[in-house]
Amino acid sequence: MVRSGITYVLLLISFSPALISAQGTFSQYENEYEIAYKEKEYAFRLVPEFYRVLSGKGYVPSLNFNSIRWRYRNEMRRHPENPFLAFCIGELYRYKNKYEEAFKYYDMAIKKAGKNVSKHTILLELFSQRRLLKWQMKEEEKFLELKKDFGALSLPLLSKYFFVRGREAAQGGFDTETEKNVRISKELNPYNLGIRHFYVRYLFLNRRFEFFDELLSLVHIIFLDFKTRLHVIIFSYNLLFTLLAIFLSTLVIAYFIKYFPSAVSKIITFTPRKLPISMRYFISVTFMLLPLIWTIPSLYTFIFMLIIPIPFLKRNERWVVQSFILLLCVVSLFGSFQTRAITAMDPTQKIEILDSMQKSRFESKWIRKCDSLLTISQRDYSIYFLKGLQLKRGGFFDEAEKNYRKAISITPNLYQTYNNLGNVLFWKGEIDSSIKYYELAKAHESKAPEPHYNLAQAYVRKLRFDKSFRHMKISSQLNFDLITTQIKNSKEVNNRFLIDLTLPKGILWKEFSSLEEDKSIFPWKYIGFDYRIFSSFLIGFFFIFIVVPRVTKSINTQCPICSSPISKGNSRIFQNETICWRCYRKLSSIHSVDIQERLRDKIRMDAQRRVRYTAIFWGLFLPGLGHLQIGKIKTGTFYLLIFSILCSMLFINRVTKITFYLPFPKGMNFGLYITSFLIILLYLFSLLNLFGSDYEER
């Protein structure tokens, strides 16, 4: 059950009027909801003793039915536009168990509300509180009709109201209510990705065949609407950057751990030879760990761990690291789109105002916003265009024509302006002039279906059915779904037969490219650099991976017995062979050749066993890390990549608005649990693979 007053809160925050005067006399429409609420309170408090019944505060046994009915009927004659008087009479009849008369007055209340969205909203809440489901459904259907009258995105707040009802119904397990409310919410705001995504997941979880149609529709919307493209840019960039950053970080950690002993063996060469070898090892390890401890946690830690293993990497290992550095660099270079997309979604930015204005119904705030923007730039095509569109939607055709003509004088080569000006002239009754401008629109863009569709409507008014049929056929060939889309989303009060066009996408993207970049966002505010400096670092690392191995050839030498890394500082010559000091200390004390060979085999087997156990140990920290330790590069890279994908799916929820919430009962976060479960399975398979390879070797 939806809590009482949700609609009131939503609409009191930012609901705005539906009709205004073009000259700026907006005052009578400024408080549309407040006026409707006062009418409702007036009707409820007309009879004080009956008010207790209407407000649900108690039972009043001694009501004078005829007197109350007479007063409400008398007020209905004085205030015929107040639908709540009829609602109160319906409640009076229902209170006396006269249901047929009550139902007639409920229908009368809906009819008297007309096209006033605020009145219908309050009536919907009243019917919902009293569980009058039949009239609740009638109001919901009425909202869909009003949506067609006012435009595709005319009622976004009301859409949120129905979405909240649908989500609460999903948590309570009421499937019918969930589907009905979310469907209405989607129809009232078809470009809201969150609502459509919720509906797609709901259909999928309930194994509904409509899932495929709705999924295709969602994909279509993503590539159709400007704002949804901004969401896709931000989400795709953050996901790719997070995935590549996590994978590259785990790869760097893996190779730093693997070649840490090799780096230590090279540093031993520069320690004093007079010191014992154990002390020289301690000094070398301390020298390696101090910079790591000093810089944690920062980007310099990553740089240190990235540079140290470069001379020791094998060719295929180096190729893997280089490839993902290059991919991360390419993604980082596209940071300009992400930072501008964040800025573009700021409600105070001009581009957000333009996009919202062209989708909204006629409202006073948009006219005032256009006037304020025109004081800054008096030759702005987009402002004149959208002001004309808003005025035309409100029925002020003379003012709309003036603004469209100013837009044409600024930018005369866009067919959208000629098409919309033709629509204004059509509604003014100047059919010949409208045909002229439709022809001009067609001349500027011959493959646009809208001018042909509008020409067909104009020729019907001229009784030229042959030309009307020809242009309608051309429009259907250019866009077969045009007529369906027009009936579903674009049927406005002053545009029932014609198609208005919005701003060309090129203008919005031009405004997009001129926006300032918001650099205090993920990931740049955590890295400390913008995407340009970060990309420069990655390019530098890429070339270091090319140059350093050519300078340091054959630096990664190993003991032929235990395979541990050796250098001049920790190696000895034994029987014309360079071995590590540990093997030398064990073998030099034995004079029997046969025992030496047996000891060699034992040291070699112990080293292999130690490597396997070490790989399993590191495999407990990261899946794939143990495989890289034993040289299984493809397998280890595969496990690390899958681990990075799953971790990025968990992390992306914290840096974008797209979450893993699914409509399960009791608010179960299915995405979090299933991703965590997959990570545990990945760990399990990685360890089983390590144990299996150990068993095969034995």
Query: For 455-491, how does the pLDDT look when each residue is reduced to its tens digit (9 = 90+)?
Result: 988 998 888 888 888 988 888 888 877 666 665 555 4
> If we measure between CA atoms, which residue out of 32, 38, 8, 7 comes closest to residue 18?
32
Q: Give 657's pLDDT tier (boundaries 50, 70, 90).
A: low
Tell whether 306 is covered by a domain.
no
pLDDT at 146: 67
Tell whether 95 is covered by a domain.
yes
- Considering the domain architecture, whether residues 471 and 612 belong to the same structural domain is answered as no
Looking at 576, 597, 619, the residue that finishes a domain is: 619
Tell whether 661 is covered by a domain.
no
Tell whether 276 is covered by a domain.
no
Alpha carbon distance 406, 248 (integer Å): 55
Instruction: Please tell me whether residue 558 adopts helix, strand or coil conformation.
Output: strand
- Considering the domain architecture, whether residues 14 and 111 belong to the same structural domain is answered as yes
Alpha carbon distance 185, 164 (integer Å): 9
- Considering the domain architecture, whether residues 374 and 495 belong to the same structural domain is answered as yes
- Considering the domain architecture, whether residues 427 and 566 belong to the same structural domain is answered as no
Mean residue pLDDT of the chain comes to 79
Domain tally, the chain? 3
Residue 173 structural domain: 6-224
Tell me whether residue 27 is exposed, middle or buried, using C-beta atoms within 10 angstroms of its C-beta: 0 to 12, 13 to 18, 19 or more: exposed
- Considering the domain architecture, whether residues 603 and 479 belong to the same structural domain is answered as no
Alpha carbon distance 86, 681 (integer Å): 64
Tell whether 466 is covered by a domain.
yes
- Considering the domain architecture, whether residues 481 and 584 belong to the same structural domain is answered as no
Q: Give 662's pLDDT tier (boundaries 50, 70, 90).
A: very low
Higher pLDDT, 483 or 372: 372
Alpha carbon distance 451, 435 (integer Å): 9
Instruction: Please tell me whether residue 572 adopts helix, strand or coil conformation.
Output: strand
CATH of the domain at 415: 1.25.40.10
> If we measure between CA atoms, which residue out of 509, 484, 493 comes closest to residue 220?
484
Tell whether 189 is covered by a domain.
yes
Tell whether 307 is covered by a domain.
no
Q: Give 660's pLDDT tier (boundaries 50, 70, 90).
A: very low
Which residues 6+ apart lie within 8 Å of 246 measured at CB?
644, 647, 648, 651
Estimate the crossing angle of helix 381-394 against helix 397-410, to 10 degrees.
160
pLDDT at 1 over 50: no
- Considering the domain architecture, whether residues 41 and 162 belong to the same structural domain is answered as yes
Summarised one tens digit per residue, pLDDT across range 669-682 is: 556 778 888 888 98
Summarised one tens digit per residue, pLDDT across range 573-619 is: 887 788 887 788 888 888 777 888 888 888 888 877 887 888 888 88
The answer to whether 170 touches 178, Cβ cutoff 8 Å, is yes
CA distances from 522 to 342, 343, 529, 651 (A): 10, 13, 11, 12
What is the mean pLDDT of the segment spanning 93-102?
A: 84
Alpha carbon distance 32, 12 (integer Å): 10
Radius of gyration from C-alpha coordinates of the chain: 37
Q: Which residue has the tokens 């957000």?
A: 352
pLDDT at 21 over 50: no
Q: Is the pTM of this model over 0.75?
A: no
Looking at 224, 244, 269, the residue that finishes a domain is: 224
pLDDT at 549 over 80: no
Which residues 6+ apart lie within 8 Å of 634 measured at CB?
none
Structure tokens belonging to residue 675: 């991703």
- Considering the domain architecture, whether residues 481 and 580 belong to the same structural domain is answered as no
Tell whether 289 is covered by a domain.
no
Looking at 224, 240, 261, the residue that finishes a domain is: 224
Alpha carbon distance 214, 203 (integer Å): 9
